[in-house]
Amino acid sequence: MFEQLPPGNTETVSIDIDGHGQRVPAHFTVAAALLASGRDACRLSAVSGAPRGPFCMMGVCFDCLVEIDGVPNVQGCMTPVREGMQVRAMQGKARLG
Amino acid sequence: MTKGMIPRTFDIVVAGGGLVGMAIAWGLVREGRRVAVCDGNDSALRAARGNFGLVWVQGKGGRCLPYAQWSLDSSARWAAFAAQLLRETGVDACVERPGGIELCETPQQLDEGRQLLESLRERDAALDYAVLDNTALRRRIPAASPALAGALYSRNDGHASPLFTLRALHEAFQARGGVYLPDNEVKEVIPRPSHFDVVTPSGMLEAGRVVLAAGLGNARLAPMVGLDAPISPLRGQIMVTEKLAPFLDYPTLVVRQTREGSVMLGDSAEQVGFDDGVSRDVMADIARRARTAFPLLAHARIVRAWGALRIMTPDGLPVYEQSQRYPGAFIAICHSGVTLAAAHADILAPWIAGGPRPRVLEPFVTARFNPSTTHSHV
């Protein structure tokens, strides 16, 4: 669905999305990495369980919530990727403890 | 609806489209009256925004038993009230009545709370309660902290969604022909020999009766119809978490989990005039009490916080009164718009529509604030 522009910087990092290793440009946000990997849905919504994915890409819509390194409900579009990052889909409501 | 299509003459005009005004207005259209609600604009101070959503009886009315009974009656009516709203609108007010829990951090708090509830139960056996030690509390709520002294439980308490309740009332009111006029704050009420003129920014309405349910705005409107509204704002701050998997099956005074999973944290009270903002010290105290009770909340993400102004009379009790000087003008003041919504629709509205004044309302008159008047019910 998305096409990448030729990157100005070819540096990449390895992240893990739902158990699958990915190499992604180091300047990507998590939401960009999700879209580039072909995932247009990254979670099941907390109330109805409907599939949702990155939409606004600017921190407003809260539809790109994912679990990052064990912390639930993090905005993927506001979080730059980091080497070794573990990204998981949110399955409905967050579970604490 | 364009302005020209709005009828200008009504049986009853209600000033205020919050929970109190809409519960009364829906009750009035159920009685077959032609009703208009004049509401303020989006920046109006709205107590309905600060509602925690408790349907609460426990501990109320320690100095005025009829207030406890009025609250209990409304709580008991809530399920039928919500069921009718759901039938008429499809909007679910999300009421649940599993009983309510007051958490006590210290044995002293537990004992003081128990004494208050016992004094109420002695006066009315329907106001029963149970004392839960820490073990009994954690049987009901495993997420509660082992450090709490215990809790008080009342089967009479519950909770609901204030936002869905308000939306359901608006839809039900309009479905029965009620006329809702937003951005139409009542500027003036002028008593005439046969009716009231209600002045709004979009023109004049004629009303056989008027109901002042404008929250803090009642202080300005009441003298126009010979009534008194001795009220002041009391700020409450609320914080809301991300939606969490269910861990709290009972509402408490400081923390409740909504059906959608959000956790509301609150129960602050400050006298700061008309400032409806938030402050760091109060939010920190709310957060401290919430995580003291439920340690897992230390990891919860707070997504919103806001302040809202409650409407308080000098003794905290409601006022429901008809003007003696200008009969047909009524006033309703309370700070528990959710708890009392069912009673407002079922009992208050039929009186305002022309029925006899319910005896249960006897204590709720402003004469109680006048030291020269003896009033046996307070």
Q: What is the CATH number of the domain that holds B335?
A: 3.50.50.60
In a domain, B91, yes or no: no
CB contact under 8 Å between B245 and A94, yes or no, is yes
pLDDT band at A78 (very low <50, low <70, confident <90, very high): very high
Same structural domain, B207 and B325 = yes
Give the pLDDT score at B376: 45
Same structural domain, B148 and B13 = no
Domain boundary among B123, B139, B155: B155
> Do residues A30 and A76 touch, judged by C-beta distance below 8 A?
yes
Q: Name which of B33, B39, B32 is nearest B14 in CA terms.
A: B39
CB contact under 8 Å between A47 and B260, yes or no, is yes
In a domain, B276, yes or no: yes
CB contact under 8 Å between A92 and B245, yes or no, is yes
CB contact under 8 Å between A46 and B247, yes or no, is no
Residue B300 forms contact with A (CB below 8 Å) = yes
In a domain, B251, yes or no: yes
Encode B86-135 in three state secondary structure. Answer: HHHHCCCCCCECCCEEEEECCHHHHHHHHHHHHHHHHHCCCCCCEEEEHH
Same structural domain, B141 and B188 = no
Closest approach of A66 to chain B, Cα-based (Å) = 13
Which residues of chain B are modeled with pLDDT < 70? 1-6, 371-378
Residue B297 forms contact with A (CB below 8 Å) = yes
Q: Alpha-carbon torsion B17, B19, B24, B29, what sign?
A: positive
In chain B, the residue whose alpha carbon lies closest to the alpha carbon of A49 is: B260
Same structural domain, B190 and B286 = no
Closest approach of B90 to chain A, Cα-based (Å) = 17
Same structural domain, B226 and B327 = yes
Same structural domain, B306 and B246 = yes
Q: Which of A46, A73, A96 sits opposite B260 (nearest CB)?
A: A46
Residue B296 forms contact with A (CB below 8 Å) = yes
Same structural domain, B138 and B255 = no
All structural domains of chain A with their residue ranges: 12-91
Give the pLDDT score at B4: 53
Closest approach of B257 to chain A, Cα-based (Å) = 12
CB contact under 8 Å between A47 and B299, yes or no, is no
CATH class of A12-91: alpha beta
Same structural domain, B333 and B226 = yes
Q: Which of B244, B297, B299 sits opposite A93 (nearest CB)?
A: B244
Same structural domain, B224 and B320 = yes
Closest approach of B182 to chain A, Cα-based (Å) = 28
Same structural domain, B258 and B365 = no
- Enter the pTM of the model: 0.91
In a domain, B61, yes or no: no
Give the pLDDT score at B372: 62
Residues in A closer than 8 angstroms to B301, CB to CB, are: 72-73, 94
Q: Which two tokens stand for residue B185?
A: 């704050």
Same structural domain, B218 and B237 = no
For testing contact with chain B, the best of A43, A93, A96 (most B CBs within 10 A): A96
In a domain, B350, yes or no: yes
More confident residue, B360 or A9: B360
pLDDT band at A97 (very low <50, low <70, confident <90, very high): low
Report the Cα–Cα distance between both ends of chain B, in Å, rounded.
47
Residue B146 forms contact with A (CB below 8 Å) = no
Residue A13, strand partner residues: A24
Domain boundary among B312, B333, B349: B312
Q: Name which of B50, B72, B76 is nearest B59 in CA terms.
A: B72
In a domain, B186, yes or no: yes
Pairing state of beta strands A20-25 and A12-17? Answer: antiparallel
* Stretch A30-47: mean pLDDT: 92
Q: Which two tokens stand for residue B227?
A: 């009534």
CATH assignment at residue B239 = 3.30.9.10
Domain extent, residue B38, equals: 8-51+163-230+315-369
CB contact under 8 Å between A47 and B242, yes or no, is no
pLDDT band at A8 (very low <50, low <70, confident <90, very high): confident
In a domain, B76, yes or no: no
Same structural domain, B301 and B267 = yes
Report the Cα–Cα distance between both ends of chain A, in Å, rounded.
37
In a domain, B3, yes or no: no
Give the pLDDT score at A40: 84
Q: Which two tokens stand for residue B371?
A: 């030291």
Q: What total of structural domains would you count in chain B?
A: 3
For testing contact with chain A, the best of B145, B161, B244, B263 (most A CBs within 10 A): B244
